[in-house]
Chains A and B, each alone.
Chain A
Amino acid sequence: MDIVGNVLPQVLKDEATEDKGEMARLQSFVGAIAVADLVKTTLGPKGMDKILKPTGPGQEMTHITVTNDGATILRSMYVENPAAKILIEISKTQDEEVGDGTTTVAVLAGELLREGEKLIQKRIHPQHVIAGWRIARDVALKRLRDISSENDINSQEFHDDLVKIARTTLSSKLITTDRDYFADLCVKAVLRLKGSSNLDYIQIIKLPGGTIRDSYLDDGFILKKQITIGCKRRIENAKILVANTAMDYDKIKIYGTKVKVNSMDKVAEIEAAEKEKMKHKVDKILKYQPTVFVNRQLIYNYPEQLLADSGITVIEHADFEGMERVAAATGAEILSTFDAPERSAQVLGHCDLIEEIMIGEEKMIKFSGCKKNEACTIVLRGASTHILDEVDRSIHDALCVLITTVKNRRVVWGGGNSEMQMAAACEEEAKKVQGKQAFAIEAFARALRQIPTIICDNGGYDSAELIQNFKVELQKGNQICGLNMTDGTIGNMSELGVKECLRVKEQALMAASEAAELIMRVDDIVKCAPRKRERA
């Protein structure tokens, strides 16, 4: 009923709800802040991990995940709150775009909203808050770009920077104790790509067993397959034919065919014809004179035997990705027809040595000395699949950051330096701005400063003390100071070698402020009636 006493007719469907004004805003803030709080303990080198356990009937004992990666945590969560979904969404985008900083982006957006909520309680209109945030974001972005530095791509400095960045990224992960080792490994892998950003060339193989330290970078290419029995196990100077063709008794692709015969002889004839057709195909393949034949599809015994008889090593059932990598690494063309043996030199891949190796318990095929030396393999070892999965995610993060850095080449100091600098810039700007927006700019600065504060808190240090000292140190003009998370002091980032990629910071800042703005602008939430599902 409205104030006059009229009965309001029902406009929306049953079970649909509409929340307006303060209620809607409260709902968004609560949801977004809850999500941010959930992941914030994973932030920084002393951040903690989370266990993700699937729920639902029959899922109790299934595979669990232990991780520190913000995107993985958020992606696996089922939330109903729409604002929380927005935060999860930006975290996913951050993961796709730059691969790291997925926790930072959600936490920053959450902190912005926490500050925004306070401003709204002070009766400042959301649009004014947004106006202030926009000014602050531009100022912060400008400062961030100003403090970044660039090195020539081939210089030793750039190489050192890459190692430092990889170390910084890995320091918050499970493998922090071995971060120097892995940082070096990742940088080597990325530098092999020679500036291309194709992560496909870096293959990661996970094998339980051994310790994390036993992981290594193999400059060859490893295919998780076995060489068919009866073939040579070691081929030097291999000529590789990579194919995607049916090697069973070829199905007839013409529609509607059917074999209909009227005597046993005919059956035999057709069988012979089939065999001949296969033989014909094998002969055509042989004309290319390969020494190794890799096929994506399965190979029947007969053609396999024919090929093996001719001294060709056969690898069947290679998966699609693996095959593309083999092709890319060895410079082979993926063939599906075999009518042009004169192009043999062009289409065959080449590598110095193919051999079957044993890693742990498993047999694999290693291609070394490939024509194109871009591909490489990182073999990860570890005590359990959970550890391996987490190491895989960490390495993936590091590789993504490194690739982004190679593309962008600009770096900033880590250890909260960039956030503190941005916050300082915002505060300076706030002093110059007239109107209520200034409060929002200050709030933006506080939100930025929350990131190093949370990092301190997670490390168990006195964050209030440290951050204040940090502020003073910056004010004194020490541009390269930052948090030393081993001693709990303010240290020199140059000496500690903590660097981060500018692009990651930029993307986190922009995505977080965009998302916070989006949530802030909402004054009405309409939830439609949930779709009824038929119960099986």
Chain B
Amino acid sequence: MSLAFDDYGRPYIILRDQGSKKRMKGLEAYKSNILAAKAVANTLSSSLGPKGMDKMLVSPDGDVSVTNDGSIIVEKMEIQHPTAKLLVELSQSQDAEIGDGTTGVVVLAGKLLEQALTLLDKGNHPLKISDGFDRACDVAIKHLETISEEIDIQANEHEALIQAACTALGSKVVSKRKRELGKIAVTAVLDVADLARKDVNLDLIKIQTKTGGSVEDTRLISGILIDKDMSHPQMPKEVKEAKICLLTCPFEPPKPKTKHNINISSAEDYKKLYQQEQQYFVDMVKLVKDSGANIALCQWGFDDEANHLLLQNELPAVRWVSGTDVELIAMATGARIIPRFQEITPEKLGKAGSVKEVQFGTSNERMLVIENCQCTKAVTILIRGGSQMIVDEAKRSIHDAICVIRNLIKDNRIVYGGGSAELACAIQVLQYADEVSSVEQYAIRSFADALEGIPCCLADNCGLNPITSVAQAKSRQLQENNPRIGIDCMELGTTDMKEQRIYETLSSKKQQIQLATQVVKMILKIDDVIAPDDY
């Protein structure tokens, strides 16, 4: 195939090392790519929706994690197929941008590819399919905006936000406590949100995990929790009206970066050096103490002698505080991070209501809580659970919920879940297809079918008959002109998603459809795969 002949009939090589490379071209390449991507989408499709199942993933080192989060599943599957990898990135970009709907986006892409395969079999040109999808996508997005509703996030003690968080948490293992966890997430986000600018700095919400207890014991701490304890066992366990000195230099004699030698040539030198060494520690502690600080948090270690001097001067201190914690504390307490002892001034100290040590369980693990910080209200969500896997999954779920709430604060338009939005778009796209005269109309119609695949998948996961329930929902949408009819996953007896209060953010839905279409278009443009043979 990659061997050609010149005018004189001599063969020449187009592709070097052909024997050791595998090449796929044309229809074969399309199909192979689509099948690989579909295989990934198929794995995820059973995780979609409130009754979706989890996946158990065993890492190369044998660690187990159980999760329902699409982006984590595809990441931990360690996919090697290049086209399938595109879906991994798809899920991850949804995660980075929106934080939720990572499963939905992959499933939608899978459904689109499935349709594309049939179209290819019928002899459609890939680029025509891709154009059709593109146009259908625009129609769907526009329609999404028309059916979206603005909600009042303040009303009824932020009920709408809690509901949205519940929708996000509903599909996870923690769904039993979704109401409580939803409330925690909402309170946490509102505590740190800047409502005037409609922005939320998620860095201010720290999610700390600790095994033990159960998911119910998860709580919100209005302060920062750090997994450290006081540097000396005899320091006081609680500091009220704390003035925090945040240091990034160790309580140790200086270690200049430049290579040097100090030569001791006489006994006097020796004595002097000894005194100087002692003086270092005294000075350091004095500088901190003089600034009026009553607690020192340091990113580095302490020398034993310095540690004791701190104790002697009644200055509680914490060592080896992680870099991210240092920054968080600086933001929350208004402290300046101080890199040198000489630069400590009273203005640079951070203020907090209290700093205290708390203890968990029998194994004697202690943590520090910094409460009532002066500047912003940094908060910590402390997640508890029966095992490491539960705690990890709860952490991911809460992260999703927090992202949803943030998106709602940024943009308070919502669409209804339960597959209703996809169904409404599908109807709209189908109508549009009839108006298109060119060959793209087949692709546009297939796009509508793919959108319908989402409610189908939802119904399937909930143990409902997918064809009947989707058909019913679709006909009711058309008859009543009500875009809120979806699949009754929770078996509550109504298919109106407004009554079930299943909220999803408009931004997330829009992003899902756009990203999925883009990836499918990209896959459809590949007509030649050249790779090493052993792949």
| Size band of the interface chain B makes with A | 35 or more
Docked-complex contact B308 and A530, CB < 8 angstroms: no
Docked-complex contact A125 and B463, CB < 8 angstroms: yes
Stretch among A94-102, A112-120, A208-216 lining the B interface? A94-102
Docked-complex contact A529 and B55, CB < 8 angstroms: no
Given contacts A11-B79, A90-B386, A528-B77, contact A80 B62 (CB under 8 A): yes
Docked-complex contact B359 and A9, CB < 8 angstroms: no
Docked-complex contact B39 and A511, CB < 8 angstroms: no
Q: Is B76 an interface residue (CB 8 A)?
A: yes
Which 4 A-B pairs have CB atoms at the shortest separation, nearest pair first?
A336-B308, A511-B386, A523-B53, A97-B212
B389 CB to closest chain A CB, in angstroms?
A: 6
Chain B residues whose CB sits within 8 angstroms of the CB of A9 once the complex forms: 32-33, 35-36, 39, 81
Chain B residues whose CB sits within 8 angstroms of the CB of A24 once the complex forms: 56
Stretch among B200-208, B258-266, B319-327, B469-477 lining the A interface? B258-266
Q: Is A63 an interface residue (CB 8 A)?
A: no
Choose from A13, A96, A333, A522 the contact partner of B66 (Cβ within 8 Å).
A522
Q: Is B333 an interface residue (CB 8 A)?
A: no
Q: Is B11 an interface residue (CB 8 A)?
A: no
Choose from B43, B253, B266, B387 the contact partner of A90 (Cβ within 8 Å).
B387
B120 CB to closest chain A CB, in angstroms?
A: 12
Docked-complex contact B266 and A518, CB < 8 angstroms: no
Chain B residues whose CB sits within 8 angstroms of the CB of A253 once the complex forms: 252-253, 277, 303
Closest to A396 in B: B362
Interface size on A, residues (CB 8 A): 91
Docked-complex contact A524 and B53, CB < 8 angstroms: yes
Closest to B172 in A: A521
Docked-complex contact B56 and A83, CB < 8 angstroms: yes
Closest to A320 in B: B233
Docked-complex contact A259 and B264, CB < 8 angstroms: yes
Chain B residues whose CB sits within 8 angstroms of the CB of A198 once the complex forms: 364
- Give the CA-CA distance A83 to B271 in the complex, in Å: 65
Which applies to chain B's interface (DSSP): helix, strand, loop or mixed?
A: mixed
- Give the CA-CA distance A23 to B276 in the complex, in Å: 71
Give a binary string over A1-44; 1 marks a CB under 8 Å from any B CB, 0 the rest. Answer: 01000111111110010101000100010000000000000000
Which of B56, B60, B273, B308 has its CB near the most chain A CB atoms (within 10 A)? B56
- Give the CA-CA distance A337 to B254 in the complex, in Å: 19
Given contacts A273-B267, A524-B43, A526-B57, contact A252 B274 (CB under 8 A): yes
Chain A residues whose CB sits within 8 angstroms of the CB of B362 once the complex forms: 96-99, 197, 199, 400, 403-404
Docked-complex contact B308 and A254, CB < 8 angstroms: no
Docked-complex contact B213 and A514, CB < 8 angstroms: no
Q: Is B168 an interface residue (CB 8 A)?
A: no
Chain A residues whose CB sits within 8 angstroms of the CB of B262 once the complex forms: 254, 256-258
A129 CB to closest chain B CB, in angstroms?
A: 12
Q: Is A272 an interface residue (CB 8 A)?
A: yes
Q: Is B31 an interface residue (CB 8 A)?
A: yes
Given contacts A11-B79, A334-B232, contact A97 B213 (CB under 8 A): yes
B204 CB to closest chain A CB, in angstroms?
A: 29
Docked-complex contact A270 and B267, CB < 8 angstroms: yes
Docked-complex contact A270 and B173, CB < 8 angstroms: no
B residues 246-297 near A (Cβ < 8 Å) are 252-256, 259-267, 270-271, 273-274, 276-278, 280-281
Q: Is B465 an interface residue (CB 8 A)?
A: no
Chain B residues whose CB sits within 8 angstroms of the CB of A510 once the complex forms: 213-214, 216, 386
- Give the CA-CA distance A318 to B16 in the complex, in Å: 71
Q: Is A327 an interface residue (CB 8 A)?
A: yes
Given contacts A257-B264, A514-B390, contact A96 B54 (CB under 8 A): no
Docked-complex contact A262 and B265, CB < 8 angstroms: yes
A residues 327-341 near B (Cβ < 8 Å) are 327-328, 333-337, 340
Docked-complex contact A96 and B53, CB < 8 angstroms: no
Given contacts A327-B234, A515-B387, contact A200 B261 (CB under 8 A): no
A-B pairs with beta carbons under 8 Å apart, 21 shown = A7-B32, A9-B39, A11-B39, A11-B84, A12-B79, A18-B43, A24-B56, A89-B388, A90-B387, A96-B362, A127-B463, A254-B253, A256-B262, A273-B267, A274-B270, A337-B308, A521-B68, A524-B43, A526-B55, A528-B57, A528-B59
A130 CB to closest chain B CB, in angstroms?
A: 9
Q: What residues make up the interface of A, taking CB atoms closer than 8 Å to B?
A: 2, 6-13, 16, 18, 20, 24, 28, 80, 82-83, 85-86, 89-90, 92-93, 96-99, 125-128, 134, 197-200, 244-245, 250, 252-262, 266, 269-270, 272-274, 276-277, 324, 327-328, 333-337, 340, 343, 400, 403-404, 507, 510-512, 514-515, 517-519, 521-531
Chain A residues whose CB sits within 8 angstroms of the CB of B54 once the complex forms: 518, 521-523
Chain A residues whose CB sits within 8 angstroms of the CB of B359 once the complex forms: 197
Docked-complex contact A526 and B263, CB < 8 angstroms: no
Chain B residues whose CB sits within 8 angstroms of the CB of A7 once the complex forms: 32
Give a binary string over B50-77; 1 marks a CB under 8 Å from any A CB, 0 the rest. Answer: 0101111111111010101000010011
Docked-complex contact A336 and B307, CB < 8 angstroms: yes
Q: Is B305 an interface residue (CB 8 A)?
A: yes
Docked-complex contact A8 and B78, CB < 8 angstroms: no
Choose from B31, B53, B80, B253 the contact partner of A522 (Cβ within 8 Å).
B53
Q: Is B176 an interface residue (CB 8 A)?
A: yes
Closest to B233 in A: A324
- Give the CA-CA distance A89 to B387 in the complex, in Å: 6
Docked-complex contact B173 and A521, CB < 8 angstroms: yes
Given contacts A343-B312, A526-B58, contact A260 B35 (CB under 8 A): no
B278 CB to closest chain A CB, in angstroms?
A: 8
Docked-complex contact B312 and A340, CB < 8 angstroms: yes
